[in-house]
A and B are shown apart, each in its own frame.
Chain A
Amino acid sequence: MSERRATSDTEPAVLRSSAPTSLWGSFRSSLRVVFVGGVISFRALFNWLNPYIFVPTMLIAPVFQILLFAYVGRSAGVGNDGFYVIGNAVQYASIPCLFAMANTIAGERFTQTLGIVLSTPVNRVALFLGRSLPVVANGWFVAMVALLVGGRVLGVDLPPRVWPGIALCVVVASASCTGLGLLQASIALRVRSTAVLSNVLFGILLVFCGANVALDALPAWMASVGRALPLTHAIEAARRIAGGAALGDVGGLLVREALLGVVFTVAGLLALRYVEAQSRRHATLELQ
């Protein structure tokens, strides 16, 4: 047998290992995983999100959510259209943020690539942060389109000067909600029902984050829960900016929103690490 073994001198270049060993090399490769890997994985897992699906579920549905609650508000004789336009547009960012992050696990499970991805030595923080960046961008886009179209349909006039501030609020909201999505993704490593779980989290945000009922009008315990969730502070900040407040006036709200995002992201990464180890123990990685 041994005569047919090639020595390392005769190995073709393609089979020589050249993985980075230095700290700088590892950092650079992690950065590439975040940016290049993040974009490729988004294309890999969300290529099915073609215009026939994206337009109805991401662009039209939020407008109807805005219309539904605006009309419920009219029917109940509470609130005004602007209140519901901003609340529901920002809250709808949770659909891409929650579902997409859960799908980074569920989609891999479906294509049976989860085992292959998790058997790579890639840094998990880089892997999942990379996957979250396109999700944040998508969440921002969906919410901004909903705000624009929903406002036009209901005749809510938002002057041009408030749009940059609102856009910033939506960026922070999408990022913090993606943190919650990351935490949920860790659960997706253990259970199969990721879509159901995303729906439930969406519902919790709908009730608690002040999208349709102001925190002041909620029972105290519900308002407290709402303040610990993503989106709540960003929605309030966006409403204040639309009402004429300067960006500096809502800085505290945005910082709180961003901090919540960081807390959820860190919790998500820790949970992912823990649940990945548990999945090896309980053989749940490849449940369909």
Chain B
Amino acid sequence: MAKYLLLKHYRGAPAAVNDVPMDQWTPEEISAHLQYMNDFAARLEKTGEFVDSQALSPEGTFVRYDGEGRPPVTDGPFAETKDVIAGWMVIDVDSYERAVELAGELSAAPGAGGKPIHEWLELRPFYGASPTISDSECLFK
């Protein structure tokens, strides 16, 4: 099994095929979309492949240490930041191919006009645990 992160972007991914902001959809189209997302997660729970799913608020703050005895510096949100994460789903699947298949299904969620959004989702593999019996034993053990 291998864990993958499916990342959805508010901003930073290439434009979707069916790229219409949600507030321009009809209320029924919004309901259909949310239903699809819920059903997708529920189905992965049933197949034993679902790990976690969270959504993020669009606006965040940058923070850094500013030296001993001083409060941290906060700044942003920055208009020029290219990449804004909207949320993620973590899946635990048998293969890279399965992860791609599921990401494709998620990207097919219906949008404006009831047609698939075809949005770009980013698929990122987790670093796995170091295996006890390794194929490259001479290299790492």
A is bound by B:
no
**Residue positions of B touching A, CB distance < 8 A:** none
**Residue positions of A touching B, CB distance < 8 A:** none
